[in-house]
Chain A
Amino acid sequence: MAYYEEDDLGRFAEVGAHRPDLFEKFMAWYQACQEDGALSRREKALIGLAVAHALQCPYCIDAYAQACLEAGSNMEQMTEAIHMASALRGGAALIHGLQAHNSVNKVSM
């Protein structure tokens, strides 16, 4: 059994086979988040793509790469969003260097 199957993205609703009330609540919330609001669908799709990379979720990366194309973003814009996610992940790791510094300083003369 493979852990990730491309076709599983289209089977998402099967998660609702158990506790459908919870799945329906999730879907209503999820769909409402996608709508044009103070942010456009295009901006939201780019945020989704960045978060998908930060989460490293292959379903989300596939879904939001397509959503970005259908919202009119090009590869330059999508790549900038991916770099934003990656830079934050890198920065988040790097700033923990202070934890190491603190730890080392605490026991050093």
Chain B
Amino acid sequence: MTTKVLPAAAGADAPARAAVGFDEKLAAHGASLRRAASVDTLQVNVGKLCNQACKHCHVDASPRRTEVMTAETAAQVVEAVRRWRIPTLDITGGAPELNPSFRRLVAEARRAGARVMVRHNLTVMFEPGQSDLPEFFREHNVEVVSSLPYFLEQQTDAQRGPGVFGKSVEALARLNAAGYGREGGPLVLNLVYNPVGAFLPPAQEAVERDFRRELEARHGLVFNRLYTITNMPIRRFLEYLRRSGNEERYMRRLVEAFNPATVGGLMCRNLVSVDWTGRLYDCDFNQMLELGVPAGLPRTIVDFDPAAFAAARVSTGPHCFGCTAGAGSSCGGAVAANRP
């Protein structure tokens, strides 16, 4: 065995580097990555504006970003959901609630019959005009998915900023008070764990048990499921990897932990991602890298037709190793039962 040398970085914005290509790795395992027969989810990123600036953010979202989806594009998303009877609309950002069209988008997608998930960062509830979010979510039976990297203040604030843990606990209490997170109840509150640093997430079921026990004992909080998500070597997290001298080690870890059993469950097989301008991508990560859908597929939400995506190829890059490492990673957490 010899140590492989990574290709040299072309610059600060160059994509993550891996010693082996993702498609090459798939082929070596006799695996191929093709889309499923149908598109189950439209994941719409309504903009990069956020009240936080987390250190691991692959979107590079922050209070200073100005890229925000217009009402016209949001209406086109709703039209696509209605026309093609898309089962799930997954709304992300930034903090999607800061988009002026957010509430209308939720209400109209629900009217169109879609299940609506919102990637809600908890602290946005304390921004002006947002204090009624728990009631708004409840009124529209929105499935809330919230990032909480750890059940302790130190780790959470290290990643998401000073004071975020305290606000997150208060926001979770308000969601619980509105009826969210009760076992067997109709209002779903799922949490997202991602590692506070350059390492892979633990087994999802083990860390879910820890969160359930500790959040209940320390703060009296409940939730439904916890998803583990791997930090993706893109934008702000990639900058951190480079600054801290961890890029090569982290990428090597992702490649070493490649698990072919994850490929069938990857989110890019069932999901189409829409950016704030209405352009289409295979996932939110490709969106941030401006890695468009393969040639020949519809490129914007106006032209969207799920049939065109059936069994289509997926655009890949070195960052894809983030979704296939260990138990795998998707917007719904781990995708394979066993880690290799």
Contact = CB atoms under 8 A, between A and B. Distances in A.
Interface of A: 7, 10-11, 13-14, 40-42, 66, 69-72, 74
B1 A72 contact: no
Interface in B234-252: 252
Given A69-B195, A74-B150, A42 B1 contact: no
Given A11-B1, A13-B1, A41-B203, A74 B252 contact: no
A71 B202 contact: yes
B84 interface: no
A49 to B, nearest CB: 14
Contacts of A11: 1, 3
A7 B3 contact: yes
Contacts of B317: none
B152 interface: yes
Contacts of B310: none
Nearest to B338: A36
Contacts of A69: 195, 197, 199, 202
B297 interface: no
A42 B202 contact: yes
A90 to B, nearest CB: 28
B200 interface: yes
Contacts, number: 32
Interface in B274-328: 326
A104 B319 CA distance: 67
Nearest to B193: A72
A13 B2 CA distance: 9
A14 to B, nearest CB: 6
B3 A72 contact: no
The 9 A-B pairs at the shortest CB distance, nearest first, are namely A72-B202, A13-B1, A69-B199, A72-B207, A70-B200, A72-B206, A71-B202, A70-B199, A66-B199
Chain A CB count within 10 A is highest, among B155, B200, B202, B210, for B202
A70 B3 contact: no
Contacts of B252: 10
B233 interface: no
Contacts of A42: 202, 206
B201 interface: yes
Contacts of A13: 1
Given A10-B252, A40-B206, A69-B197, A74 B3 contact: no
A74 B152 contact: yes
A10 B200 CA distance: 17
